[in-house]
Amino acid sequence: MRNLMLSSSVLCCGLLAGCATGLLDKSADQIIVDTKGLDIKEYERDLSECDVLAQQVDISKRTVDRAIGGAVVGSVVGRILGNSDSAREIGGTAGVVGGAKGNVQARKEQQKVIKRCLQGRGYKVLN
């Protein structure tokens, strides 16, 4: 049982490291637009307005909601597999992983909103 707990903790830490790497990769956040023939000042204004719209996707709420969900599910799994200590350990790890995943998903959704907004304003979004 102890080996299962250790394996589960190592697996969760590996998943968390993968999520954290995604959070740090800012190149994925860049939006590439074909700027040939565009008024750059107008594009920057439109991009800023689209970014304001994208802020309606609440990253903090999504992160917290996923963290709580992960902690609850992790605690239940930990309780089934072991005792209250293992439930706390697995619950905590799952909460962090869930929160990181919720954060990444919310940021991706913000990028989709910005891209759709720019496309709706006639820009050719390349990525």
Q: What is the pTM of this model?
A: 0.66
Local structure of 127: helix, strand or coil:
coil
The mean predicted confidence, pLDDT, of the chain is 80
pLDDT (tens digit, 0 to 9) for every residue of the chain, 127 residues total?
444 444 455 455 455 545 544 554 455 578 999 999 999 999 999 999 999 999 999 888 888 988 888 888 887 877 787 777 777 777 888 888 888 999 999 999 999 999 999 999 999 999 9
Give the whole-angstrom CA distance, residue 109 versus residue 123. Answer: 19
CA distances from 33 to 8, 27, 44, 115, 121 (A): 43, 14, 11, 9, 12
Helices 2-24 and 59-81 pack at an angle, to 10 degrees, of: 170
